[in-house]
Amino acid sequence: MKKAPVVVLDNGAFTVKLGLSNASKDVSHCRVIPNAIIRSKGDKTTYFGQDFAECRDFSSLNYRLPFEKGYVVDWDAQKAIWDGIFTEETLGVDTTETSLLITEPYFNLPNLQEVYDQFVFEEYEFQAYHRATPASLIPYGQLFGKPSQVQPECMIVVDSGFSFTHIVPIMEGEIVWSAVKRIDVGGKLLTNHLKELVSFRQWNMMDETYIMNSVKETCCYVTTQFSADLQTCRYKTKDNPILQEYILPDFSLNKQGRVMQPDEMTLESDQILHMGNERFSVPEILFRPDDIGLHQAGLAESIAASIALLPDDLQGMFWANIGLIGGNTKFPGFATRLLSDLRPLAPVECEVVVYESKDAVLEAYRGAVSLAKQSGFANHVVTREEYLEGGSNACRRKFKDWRTAQSSHKEDAARPKASMVREEERAATPAAKVKQPVKTRTRTVSAVKRST
Amino acid sequence: MHVDADRESVLRERCRAASFQLRPLSSLYTTIRPDKLGSYAAQTPSAYVFHPRCTVHVLSLLGAAARQTQAVSALDSEVIAKRTKRHLDELERSNYAEPSSSYLGMEEEEETAGKSAKGRARQTISDRRSLSGAGAKRKKSTMNIRSAVLYKKNLATLIDESGIASLPSHLSTYLTAETGPPREPARMLCSVCGYWGSYRCKKCAMPYCDMNCQGVHDETRCERRIV
């Protein structure tokens, strides 16, 4: 019998990424579906998840999101969206005949994990399933090099999504939970912040989350020289290279929003949104949460704090393998800025390398697909029989989540020493091999300033 | 009673515009001398009889000035922290007009769909979806699923119920994984235009950068109700 494909679902708070493990090699087959129930006033219709593709009028959309601060709280809404996804029309397979690989948030609450189990086995009746965090799937992907190459044994995955940003150290394929750090800044907060700025300064956009999200995605960038850019934007002059004019969409004429070209003439009916320091001060919050009064360390500082909690002799490897996933990392200039912030925090002798993904949103999905393809995937899953026998306990025993991983680490406290020695031996060779980052690798060893 | 310089100038301005008249109880009408306003305020307002039309106004101005002074001194970091927290909570909203969101899709369809549900106590949005769909094969959900769908809990409640707060302290959880405080002090950015904010509002402590932005701030942003 031919092996049935695995349904892969990266269940994000903003979008779900959905596909089958046996589909084409690249991830272009992946369907990205809003994880929301959206009411369009103009269309007088409520769209559930994937139906949103039919939406034509994006003004004053009302959102109902299953997630609150990164965790599924509204199961009614989540079920409504999943009901549309887990059908034969959408998937091409019957859920009762396949297995599932689904992502869950970091530090997912135990009581929520049980609901995941219940939905998978009781509502959709999958044969087997595996539940994992997005970062834990990255070692299977290509963020740090082609799968054929040896993956680095130590890596930091920076996952900056819709709800929050996590810094996740991974050692030999396993998350070091004691060093995971969370910054409560995500894409949702950034969009809302931009909405506020614009509404106060120019147009009232408080109800236009959808439009402001696309403005954010088109106009915003991460600066490496905040002070200088701020100075440039002090006055609205013509020769300000940062200032962009965004033509707001007009849904009655079916016109999408876009940035005005330099020598373009505007129509009288066009509504122009001037994007000055908003362009970089919004993503800046990821690096300086204090700018909006959120009393948390920025991204670079948090990464340094996370690495400081890892074994001394391996810290250099973590500095040299920092990978970026999640939608926020798509802001132009993100990696460059992070690197320039990190360099002074890292020890002089350490090489700091930041790996960028071509499609940061799909990176976890890509890893999930290659895990699902592996012959060993069967060892990771909990089967329906096991669940019917042991309930959620079966899942708790099987899945390496933050609880099981941490309690098992305590048991073999002697083990790390042994593995560290091994690590050192290996460090020389694989590190040399891995030295071919996929996308971006920038090194500024010159700008070294040792920090305490 | 002390009137701070700011309020006094306002008063002075108002008085000049209205050219108030006032007289000591015993004497004839005298014109308010704006430069002496502080000293008027220092005495009990009732020592003077204002022009009837203006009396109430001036008294309330003097009273407000006094209250304001107290408020400014009472404005401390705690109040600001509260305001910041409120703002951060607002930034987590899915919709600006939040209350309606929980009834999303309910309003218009409530009447028609609600009746067809044969007096069921509550109708869920997931039910509505499958009803409006083909609806050919609808299997009954298990008890677990139904209670998860019917009883929505917010994150705070869920964290409470999960018991992660009582786990041994060496385990990292959602509660402990939050990153530490920033090493550098916060930057002051103008709350109006986003440029460096070198000054802080006396009343609400929001930063602004120049007179222009101060004007905008005073008119629109200043939270006088911080009292």
Residues A6-29 pLDDT 10s: 999 999 999 999 999 887 667 778
Residue B22 in this model has a pLDDT that exceeds 80: no
Task: Give percent above pLDDT 90 in chain B.
Answer: 24
CB spacing of A297 vs B179 below 8 angstroms: yes
* Token pair in block for residue B93: 């909203």
Q: Does A307 touch chain B (CB under 8 A)?
A: no
Q: What span, in angstroms and rounded, lies between the C-alpha atoms of B66 and B73?
A: 11
B92, B141, B187 ranked by CB distance to A288: nearest: B187
- Dump pLDDT digits (tens) for A383-393: 999 999 988 88
Which of B90, B92, B126, B196 best tests the A interface by mutation, with the highest count of A CBs <10 A? Answer: B126
Q: What span, in angstroms and rounded, lies between the C-alpha atoms of B199 and B218?
A: 13
What pLDDT score does A165 carry?
Answer: 96
Between A431 and A100, where is the model more confident? A100
Q: Does A16 touch chain B (CB under 8 A)?
A: no
Task: Spell out which residues of chain A touch residue B196, defining contact as CB-CB under 8 Å.
Answer: 230
The distance of A75 to chain B (nearest Cα, Å) reads 5
Whole-angstrom distance between the N-terminal and C-terminal Cα of chain A? 60
Between helices B52-74 and B5-18, what is the axis angle to 10°? 170
**Single-letter residue type at B163:** G
Q: Does A49 touch chain B (CB under 8 A)?
A: no
Q: What span, in angstroms and rounded, lies between the C-alpha atoms of A135 and A368?
A: 10
What pLDDT score does B5 carry?
Answer: 58
- Dump pLDDT digits (tens) for A248-301: 998 877 788 888 887 777 777 788 899 999 999 999 999 999 999 999 999 999
B134 burial via Cβ count (<10 Å: 0-12, 13-18, 19+): exposed
Q: What span, in angstroms and rounded, lies between the C-alpha atoms of A68 and B101?
A: 13
- Dump pLDDT digits (tens) for B174-216: 999 999 999 999 999 999 999 999 998 888 888 999 999 999 9
Q: Count CB-CB contacts under 10 A for residue A196.
A: 18
Query: What domains sit in chain A, N to C, each tagged with a CATH number?
Result: 6-139+362-400 (3.30.420.40), 146-184+296-356 (3.30.420.40), 187-284 (3.90.640.10)
Q: Does B168 touch chain A (CB under 8 A)?
A: no
Q: Count CB-CB contacts under 10 A for residue A51.
A: 17
Q: Does A420 touch chain B (CB under 8 A)?
A: no
Q: Does A189 touch chain B (CB under 8 A)?
A: yes
Between A114 and B118, where is the model more confident? A114
What pLDDT score does B16 carry?
Answer: 57
What pLDDT score does B155 carry?
Answer: 93
Question: Band of the pLDDT at A78, cuts 50, 70, 90?
Answer: very high
Catalogue the E-assigned strands of A35-108.
Answer: 37-40, 45-48, 62-64, 67-68, 71-72, 99-103
- Reference A350, options A358, A360, A339, A361; nearest CA is A339
Rounded (to 5) percent helix, strand, coil in chain A? 40, 20, 40
* Average pLDDT of the residues of chain B: 68
Residue B102 in this model has a pLDDT that exceeds 50: no
* Token pair in block for residue B36: 């002496």
Q: Does B132 touch chain A (CB under 8 A)?
A: no
Q: What span, in angstroms and rounded, lies between the C-alpha atoms of A224 and A158?
A: 19
What pLDDT score does B18 carry?
Answer: 47
What pLDDT score does B169 carry?
Answer: 86
Mean pLDDT of B62-78: 55
Contacts of B31 (CB under 8 A, 6+ apart): B19, B20, B21, B22
Residue A414 in this model has a pLDDT that exceeds 60: no
* Token pair in block for residue A255: 């016109």
Mean pLDDT of A85-98: 89
Q: Model's pTM, two decimal places?
A: 0.80
Mean pLDDT of A413-423: 43
Buried b (16+ CB within 10 A) or exposed e, A154-171: bbbbbbbbbbbbbbbbbb
What pLDDT score does A114 carry?
Answer: 94
* Average pLDDT of the residues of chain A: 86
Alpha helix ranges (H) inside A49-180? 75-85, 88-91, 110-118, 134-137
- The answer to whether A10 and A160 are in contact (CB under 8 A) is no
Q: Three-state DSSP class for B45?
A: helix
A183-187, A326-330, A377-381, B47-51: lowest mean pLDDT where?
A: B47-51
Between helices A75-85 and B125-132, what is the axis angle to 10°? 30
**Single-letter residue type at B75:** L
Contacts of B107 (CB under 8 A, 6+ apart): B100
Complex ipTM over 0.85: no
Residue B136 in this model has a pLDDT that exceeds 60: no
Which of A68, A274, A309, A395 best tests the B interface by mutation, with the highest count of B CBs <10 A? Answer: A68
- Dump pLDDT digits (tens) for A299-334: 999 999 999 999 999 999 999 999 999 999 999 999
- Dump pLDDT digits (tens) for A198-228: 999 998 999 999 999 999 999 999 999 999 9
